[in-house]
């Protein structure tokens, strides 16, 4: 049986690929506010601080969290080190999962959002069923569900 293909390659990349930040845009991005600075002061490890700033900026751009290491996004990581932690060496260790998830919770709190849970699942399923009764175009249903989640 053939698989239903809803997303184009570009749509898929827009959803699941870490945003590419051009060099000329770096100076305008990765800005920290008071909330960010307070949270960063609770972290002791440089890799955790870099990870938080990266996650926060990628989330601001796309409204999604991505799985990455600071070594995998080296250019953006170096920009953060040069801007906020000049003179520091590039961390050898990646951020632990504990700190990654802790940072994600802090970012969600900052933007007054919440993580997917069972009560939201029920609302989403009901909305999906209502949409499926009204529309037959899978891409429209998918896009509407994404909008509902935001």
Report for 4-13, 70-79, 107-116: range of highest mean pLDDT:
70-79
Q: Same domain for 61 and 34?
A: yes
- Report the Cα–Cα distance between both ends of the chain, in Å, rounded: 33
Residue 1 is assigned to a structural domain of this protein: no
Q: Same domain for 36 and 100?
A: yes
Residue 128 is assigned to a structural domain of this protein: yes
Q: Same domain for 51 and 32?
A: yes
Q: Return the structure tokens found at 146.
A: 């994404």
Residue 140 is assigned to a structural domain of this protein: yes
Q: Same domain for 54 and 126?
A: no
Q: Please determine, for residue 3, whether its predicted confidence score (pLDDT) is greater than 90.
A: no
* C-alpha to C-alpha distance for 30 and 49, rounded to whole angstroms: 12
Q: Which residues contact 50 (CB under 8 A, 6 or more apart)?
A: 70, 77, 80, 81, 85, 91, 95
Q: Provide the domain count of the chain.
A: 2
Q: Same domain for 98 and 138?
A: no
SS3 138: helix
Dump pLDDT digits (tens) for 84-140: 999 999 999 989 999 999 999 999 999 988 887 788 889 888 998 998 899 888 888
Residue 34 is assigned to a structural domain of this protein: yes
Q: Same domain for 74 and 20?
A: yes
* C-alpha to C-alpha distance for 13 and 101, rounded to whole angstroms: 23
Q: Same domain for 126 and 143?
A: yes
Give residue 130's domain range.
118-149
Q: What percent of the chain has pLDDT over 90?
A: 52
pLDDT score recorded for residue 97: 94
Q: pTM of this prediction?
A: 0.82
């Amino acid at each position: 049986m053939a698989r239903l293909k809803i997303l184009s390659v570009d749509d898929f990349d827009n959803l699941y690929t870490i945003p590419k930040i051009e060099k000329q845009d770096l100076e305008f991005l990765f800005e920290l506010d008071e909330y960010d600075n307070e949270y960063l002061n609770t972290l002791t490890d440089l890799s955790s601080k870099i990870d938080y700033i990266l996650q926060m900026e990628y989330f601001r751009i796309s409204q999604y969290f991505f799985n990455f290491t600071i070594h995998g996004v080296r250019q953006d990581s170096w920009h953060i080190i040069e801007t906020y932690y000049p003179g520091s060496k590039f961390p050898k260790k990646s951020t632990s999962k504990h700190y990654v998830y802790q940072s994600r919770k802090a970012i969600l709190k900052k933007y007054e959002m919440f993580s997917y849970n069972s009560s939201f699942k029920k609302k989403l399923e009901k909305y999906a069923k209502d949409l499926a009764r009204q529309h037959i175009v899978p891409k429209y249903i998918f896009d509407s569900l994404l909008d509902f989640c935001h």
